[in-house]
Each structure stands twice: as C-alpha cells, then as structure tokens.
C-alpha cells in the first residue's frame, strides 16, 4: 500500500484553477497545505471576439465552412502547460520527490503531454476527478483512499 509521504507534492487542477499542495503531515496522518494557487480568467470562445467560420470552395465548386479555433480550449491548454513547467522546475530544485496529479480527464491528458520525463517518473498517482472546489480535508481523504486501493495503478 502506498502512502502520502512528506516528500510528496499534490497538484489539484482543471483548465482554469490549480492548487499546489504539500503534505506537512506524515504517511499515517496527512495534512495538505497550500504552496501556491493558480487561476486564470478564460471567457468562452464566443466572448473572445471570434468571427463567423470562414468559408472555402473546393475545385468542384462545393462550399464548406472551416472550423474556428476554440480559444477557450487553447487558453486552458496553455494554463496546464505553464503549471507543468513550474512543477518540473520545483522537482529539479528538489522541493519534492513524489508527485500526485488530480485533474479531470482533459486537463490530465494535457498535463501528461506537457510533463517532462523527470516529472512523469516522479508521478506516483493520477486521479481522474475535478476536485478544485473541494475542501482540503476531503481531497486528503480521496487521495488516501486512492493510494490504499489495491486495484488502483499508481
């Protein structure tokens, strides 16, 4: 059974909010404390001044529209990439040894793409949930349960 050690950093994130936590307790009595928080104002694509879809015509005279860029999603992806860079820098400075990532599937996938090899290797657990609005004691319980669950691949 894996436990939440004192040298573990926890990231609870989605596409617009993130909490970086450290365990000030021990493996038996975790006590997550806020290291830093991230937040971004990211309005919907429709509110970011996007025009109507562009139209194109092929060589046979058929017209079709070209899909517009989802600026909201682009901003979320950049946000997650910045956090991954910061986590990699913290790891390189020796601020933690193990890493737990808690994020909804889309943000989790984007984080995996952004994480360098060292951060990927330090990742001991991924939880596919959005817990950014949960109190820290509830986050502790969810992480502890996931670590204790023998069927969970960590």
- pLDDT tens digit sequence for 110-141: 999 999 999 999 999 999 999 999 999 999 99
Residue 34: how many CB atoms within 10 A of its CB? 10
Task: Provide the CATH topology of domain 8-148.
Answer: Nucleotidyltransferase; domain 5 (3.30.420)
For the stretch 3-7, contacts whose Cβ atoms lie closer than 8 Å and that sit 24 or more positions apart, written own/partner, are 3/27, 3/28, 3/144, 3/147, 4/30, 4/100, 4/140, 4/143, 4/144, 4/147, 5/97, 5/98, 7/96, 7/97, 7/98
Nearest-angstrom CA–CA distance, 154 and 146: 9
Q: Give the pLDDT confidence of 59-91 residue by residue, as tens digits.
A: 676 766 666 666 767 778 889 999 999 999 999
How far is CA 148 from each of CA 44, 68, 78, 141, rounded to the nearest angstrom?
A: 39, 45, 33, 10
Predicted TM-score (pTM) of the model is 0.78
């Amino acid at each position: 059974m894996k436990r939440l050690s004192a040298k573990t950093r926890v990231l609870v994130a989605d596409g617009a909010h993130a909490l970086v936590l450290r365990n000030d307790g021990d493996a038996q009595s975790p006590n997550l404390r806020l290291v830093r928080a991230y937040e971004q104002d990211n309005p919907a694509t429709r509110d970011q001044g996007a025009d109507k879809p562009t139209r194109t015509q092929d060589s046979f005279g058929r017209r079709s529209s070209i899909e517009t860029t989802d600026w909201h999603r682009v901003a979320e992806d950049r946000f997650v990439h910045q956090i991954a860079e910061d986590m990699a820098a913290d790891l390189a400075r020796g601020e933690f040894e193990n890493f737990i990532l808690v994020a909804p599937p889309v943000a989790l996938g984007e984080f995996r793409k952004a994480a360098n090899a060292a951060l990927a290797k330090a990742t001991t657990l991924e939880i596919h949930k959005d817990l950014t609005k949960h109190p820290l004691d509830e986050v502790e319980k969810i992480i502890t349960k996931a670590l204790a669950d023998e069927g969970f691949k960590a």
